[in-house]
Amino acid sequence: MLGHTRKMRGAFFILALTTTTISSAPQQGTVLTESQLEECGRTVSSDNDDPVVGEFPYFCTLYVKKDDNNIFVGGATLLSRNTLLSLATLFSNLKLLDEKIDDCTNSFSLRHDLFASCGTVNIKSDENSRQDKQIQKIIIHPEHSNTSLINDYAILVTQEPFTYTEEVGRVCLTHNDADEMKDFDAELCVTLGHGPRDDVFNKLYSDNTKKSKPALVDRESCEDDLNSYHFARNDIDNWKLHSSHICAGNGVEDTCKGDGGGPLLCKYDVLSLNPDFYNVVDFSKYYQVGVTAWGANPCQEENTLPGVYSRVSVAKPWIEKTIRCNDIYPVVKKCKTPTSTKVATAGDVDLRDVAETDEFGLRTIEESSDSDCVEEDTNVAEASDFGLRTLEDCSCV
């Protein structure tokens, strides 16, 4: 059912291996130097089916502390010591967003105490490697729509920074405007989250971090599958995948409710023959290409349809500028007129949350407002990179 494209291999194998080096991951428990701790995408070697501590040190769990209880929310990835990447609908659907504290950056305060927990693979663990930091504010992508679910990105800013250790580190992000089907090995992808699997199917989430291995699916095949087996049955004709979305799924493994906000990670294809990669890409590392968002049917069904993820490459300029702004680098913000895209609405799919929503199949637990501004670093990118309609300057707060 999944008609994703596989690239021809073998003919260029010798050429690729003579051009690049693939390093091996250290063993669990290896003490790293300060410079090694600063590296993105660190991992340790493991033969376990489920992740071990330190294997994905950038994967974190979000929870709300209320009345002495910790309420699981979803997943996130550590971008820097004080910022994390997650899914906007996680916080809007759960009504965690409070007042907008800055129109230009589209940042919000929180109604409840939200925390990020990194450095462990069990939600209830109290091991020494675990670090928990409270979230100070959430910044929603300025073109996010809570109905069509496009540009579904959120950056969380912590009150205090995380400390990089062997168990806690930052994620590597894909390059800007990546062609994922050509640049990455479609078969070398993983997702991480706490959504229920077979052993905990009757629970809202799994205590332990779970890993699945869905393959990337090309856009045409994803549209064909979802139109044929889902949207057409819901009286939606000719549904199109938005540019801020990417698909993955091999017909067997999929993400579930409770996985929302977690990463879709892939390795660059050593046979891609893109000369730009060989000086900047580590082919042994996973790079984040997506954020778990929604699916058309429950993850436990056989012959499951492709899952849909928020695509990181198209949002990377905004992500990088948001990180720099919150690291107190001088940034100029420029406002724009929101654009609209005719796509399906959240009522048409299955959300990857732990609460019930209707049909979009979001991988989250339920409201977000659109803003009209994005950050612009005057020393890095041109305004045209964001499709800006105006050039009004906003101050950074």
**Span 234-284, pLDDT tens digits:** 888 889 999 999 999 977 778 888 899 999 999 998 877 677 777 778 888
DSSP 8-state assignment for residue 297: S
pTM value is 0.80
CA–CA dist 94, 87 (Å, integer): 12
Q: Which two tokens stand for residue 297?
A: 């049917």
Q: Which two tokens stand for residue 337?
A: 């007129």
The span from the first CA to the last CA of the chain, in angstroms, equals 49
Residue 24's pLDDT is 62
Residue 222's pLDDT is 94
Residue 323's pLDDT is 95
CA–CA dist 76, 63 (Å, integer): 11
Residues 312-332 have pLDDT tens digits of 999 999 999 999 999 844 444
Residue 32's pLDDT is 80
CA–CA dist 87, 101 (Å, integer): 19
CA–CA dist 100, 13 (Å, integer): 52
- 376 with 334: CB under 8 angstroms? yes
CA–CA dist 192, 183 (Å, integer): 21
Q: Which two tokens stand for residue 226?
A: 């979802």
Nearest Cα residue to 236 out of 149, 346, 344, 145: 344
Kindly tell me the sign of the dihedral angle through the C-alpha atoms of 360, 361, 362, 366.
positive
CA–CA dist 355, 93 (Å, integer): 9
Q: Which residues pair with 117 in a beta bridge?
A: 61, 132
- Return averaged pLDDT per consecutive 10 residues of the chain, 397 residues in all: 38 34 63 89 83 94 91 96 96 91 93 96 90 97 94 97 95 91 93 74 77 94 92 87 93 83 93 72 92 82 82 96 76 49 59 51 46 41 31 38
Residue 188's pLDDT is 93
Q: Which CATH architecture has domain 52-328+339-366?
A: Beta Barrel (2.40)
Residue 237's pLDDT is 86
E strand segments, the chain = 59-66, 69-80, 83-86, 97-102, 107-110, 113-118, 131-140, 154-158, 184-193, 210-212, 216-217, 245-248, 263-268, 287-295, 307-311, 332-335, 350-352, 361-362, 373-376, 393-394
Residue 373's pLDDT is 46
Kindly tell me the sign of the dihedral angle through the C-alpha atoms of 201, 205, 206, 210.
positive
Question: Which conformational region is residue 102 in: left (phi greater than 0), alpha (psi within -120 to 50 degrees), or beta?
Answer: beta
